Chain A
Amino acid sequence: MHGVKRVQYSQAALEAKKQRDHDKLKAYLALSDDVIARKSHDMSNEAFELTTRLLRMNPEFYTVWNYRRDMFIESLFPQRSPSEVNELLSDDLSLTFELLKQHPKVYGIWNHRRWCLEHIPDGPSPDDVNGYRNSTWNKELFVVEKMLDADARNFHAWNYRRYILATMPFPPPPKSELAYTTRKIEANFSNFSAWHQRSKVLTTLWETGELDRVKSIEEEFELVRNAMYTDPDDQSVWIYHAWLIGNGNYAARLQFEITSIQELLDEQPDSKWCMESLVRYKRLLIEKHAENLGDKKALVDSCLELLAKLRDIDPPRRRRYDEIAEGIRSGNEMQ
């Protein structure tokens, strides 16, 4: 539905296309009617194959995914060995991977994939009950990587990646996920999803003590400064920077970053993000470190000057900047 562009056809080609569309629709509707008529009672292999055909035509048909799962539970799994069950599930994992390549954002396909993973049987032997699971789950990161290579912003894939890392029996260490985000960010600074993932991974590494928070934040500020200087217009970088600043309780860091951003602004006088960030961080200084400020008035005036410039270069947000300026003038808390 999104972004289907119009194509020009000759009269004859148009007629042929109409006929093809008509035939396709007829076939789909017939198949759909057949499958739905069977779903309350038919658990046969034949019905199973029909659901495969129907799902290939319409992978968003959640009722049919449900029916397929019921067939697994009611008739295909019972009386089959763990090895056969594992094979059936592997086939469905292949099917969903194939469908995802054409339909990367369909909830039902991702959902069915999770279901398959969660139903892998114990095996291959009583001494190795997790063998099937480990081997299958280990391949999932590869699948997600392929999906993210195709579309690095696909939030279904990122959410799924986080699900796999949280659930797989032997996840790779968080540091390796950190390295993955580094690769994605270096490939494209605009990839906000990668920066976002990085913030999640770092939080975990700080909580577990695997990385020293203070040192790590220093390094992150360095990383983000490089990105800022490379492309000051990229929104992702500034959002990540704001995350690093956090609630602004550390005055020295605020001052340092303000100075650094000001230097960038001197080189790029029209950079909206530089100005917006300076206003934000200066306001944090005013709000949180008033007692240590030398010249509060100079800070306030600087903010008002920046907001006046922002009104000019960023017209869609003019009213917002006016509102902020009003807040600063009347000494109100940040809105």
Chain B
Amino acid sequence: MSGSELPKLARVAHAGHCNRCLSALPSSHIQIDASRLAIGFYCFGTLDLLGSIYEKTKEIEREGWREWLWHQQTNRPYGTDPEEYSEYDTPHLIMTYTAILSLAILRDDFEQLDRNGIVRFLQACQREDGSFTSFPNGGESDLRQVYCAFAISSMLDDWSGVDVDRAVSFIQQCSSHEGGYGQQPTGEALGGTTYCALASLYLAPSVSDLHAPNPHVTTDERRRTIRWLLQNQASSGGFSGRTNKDADACYCFWCGASLHILGVGDLVDRTAFLSYLASCQFKFGGIGKAPEDRPDPYHTYLSLAALALFPLEDADPSWKLPRLNALWNTTEDTADWIRQHVPLYTVKAQSPVRK
């Protein structure tokens, strides 16, 4: 099947799906209640990729969301020493990452960002072995949190919250003999954690040239990882998350973006890739993990992000998406906004401006 024979991308329907999810979710989704910020990000991200933030939402709604997001910024423990986080605060590393991205998509000016607080928070989350927990004093620790810590530091342009060497050492220990990276040392390679590992290693402050060999990835690791990632593309065009598992739309991003970061995106079979994601579109809007599955914002966003990384020349114009910043996982326009507003010191019109 050539690009021109593919169905269209149902842009309006997908924007509708995410807009509906922003208003309310049914009782079957009770279990993602504690991850609202992540769900918010997937919805805002989808609208951003579809270029419909301003079309499909009103300024009053966007103001409301920005306010809701800032309401989640926690910077004072309840009645305890202000220098220490207690478990009552429960700021969460992954939610912090998604909150910053969401605010950037909504074009917030970040005047309210507690940069020092976030740096202290990162320090409080890093463990002896270099990994990060979801929140200080507890929570699980694996490569997802390391990635979020690196992405946040990179967006802040402030790495004082992270012991980079220790974190890099932890990431390298997660490298699997199969290629790819597991959740923890000795873990099986997984698509999601492979993305987290690679994005982190390429975000690390010692890496300035994304096209030169990365000092934290050995030639052997790179070779194994490329081979493992490519083998995860099924004949349907979709990617699976690990050896002998079924294809799943979200891994089109996790694995596809990993290959993109390694500079070998050209080796992906793009037509099959697009054809698989096209078939995951749900007839009432949204994109599911596999054909016929119910959609959700997570799969919708990641499918579109994957498609943004692998444009197909002869595909219908409905498939045209903006350029994606693969390391932060947001559009390049939003990434520009972040660079101009998130760090404490930004360079604007040739002179540094303190925010």
Name A's B-contacting residues (CB within 8 A). Answer: 1-6, 21-22, 24-25, 28, 32, 39-40, 57-63, 66-67, 69-70, 103, 106-108, 110-111, 115, 153, 155, 158-159, 162, 190-193, 196, 199-200, 234-236, 239, 243, 315-320, 323, 334-335
Contact = CB atoms under 8 A, between A and B. Distances in A.
28 contacts: A1-B32, A1-B298, A2-B289, A4-B293, A21-B26, A21-B28, A25-B27, A32-B33, A60-B31, A61-B33, A62-B92, A62-B135, A67-B88, A110-B140, A111-B138, A115-B138, A155-B182, A192-B243, A196-B188, A235-B231, A315-B269, A315-B272, A316-B235, A316-B272, A317-B230, A317-B267, A317-B269, A318-B269
Interface in B129-155: 134-135, 138-140
Contact of B267 (A22, A111, A323): A323
Nearest to A158: B188
B187 A159 contact: yes
B341 interface: no
Given A316-B237, A316-B272, A111 B244 contact: no
Contacts of B134: 62
A67 B139 CA distance: 12
Contact of B235 (A193, A196, A235, A315): A315
A3 to B, nearest CB: 6
A200 B137 CA distance: 30
A318 B233 CA distance: 12
A234 B32 contact: no
Interface in B115-137: 134-135
Give chain B's interface residue range (CB within 8 Å of chain A).
35 or more
Interface in B68-119: 78-79, 87-88, 90, 92
B243 to A, nearest CB: 4
B48 interface: no
B27 A21 contact: yes
B266 interface: yes
Contacts of B30: 24-25, 28, 57-58
B245 A153 contact: yes
B157 interface: no
Contacts of A334: 223
Across the A-B interface, the 5 shortest Cβ-Cβ residue pairs: A192-B243, A25-B27, A316-B269, A21-B27, A66-B87
Contacts of B194: none
A39 B88 contact: yes
Which among B26, B231, B242, B272 has the greatest number of chain A C-beta atoms within 10 A? B231
Contacts of A158: 187-188
Interface of B: 26-35, 78-79, 87-88, 90, 92, 134-135, 138-140, 176-178, 182-184, 186-188, 190, 223, 226, 230-231, 233-235, 237, 242-245, 248, 266-269, 272, 289-290, 292-294, 296, 298
A3 B293 contact: yes
A58 B33 contact: yes
Contact of B90 (A66, A115, A193, A239): A66
A1 B29 contact: yes
A181 B177 CA distance: 18
B293 A5 contact: yes
A62 B139 contact: yes
A269 to B, nearest CB: 19
Nearest to A2: B289
A279 to B, nearest CB: 11
B21 to A, nearest CB: 11
A162 B298 CA distance: 30
A28 B32 CA distance: 13
Contacts of B177: 199, 243
Contacts of A159: 183-184, 186-187
Contacts of A108: 140
A61 B90 CA distance: 11
Contacts of A58: 30-31, 33-34
Contact of A40 (B28, B78, B182, B188): B78
Given A66-B135, A316-B234, A335-B226, 13 more contacts: A58-B33, A58-B34, A60-B31, A61-B33, A62-B134, A62-B135, A62-B139, A111-B140, A234-B244, A235-B243, A236-B244, A239-B178, A323-B267
B284 to A, nearest CB: 10
A162 B186 CA distance: 8
Contacts of B26: 21, 25
A108 B139 CA distance: 7
B297 to A, nearest CB: 9
Nearest to A322: B267
Nearest to B269: A316
A107 B187 CA distance: 15
A62 B138 CA distance: 10
Nearest to A4: B294
Contacts of B178: 196, 239, 243
Contacts of B28: 4, 21
Given A58-B33, A61-B34, A317-B230, A155 B190 contact: yes
Given A21-B27, A58-B34, A60-B32, A193 B140 contact: no
Contacts of A199: 177
Contacts of B272: 315-316
Contacts of A5: 292-294
Given A25-B30, A316-B235, A40 B244 contact: no
Nearest to B39: A1
A66 B34 CA distance: 13
Nearest to B187: A159
Nearest to B237: A316
Which among A32, A191, A239 has the greatest number of chain B C-beta atoms within 10 A? A239
B90 A319 contact: no
A68 B28 CA distance: 24
Contact of B266 (A2, A28, A59, A319): A319
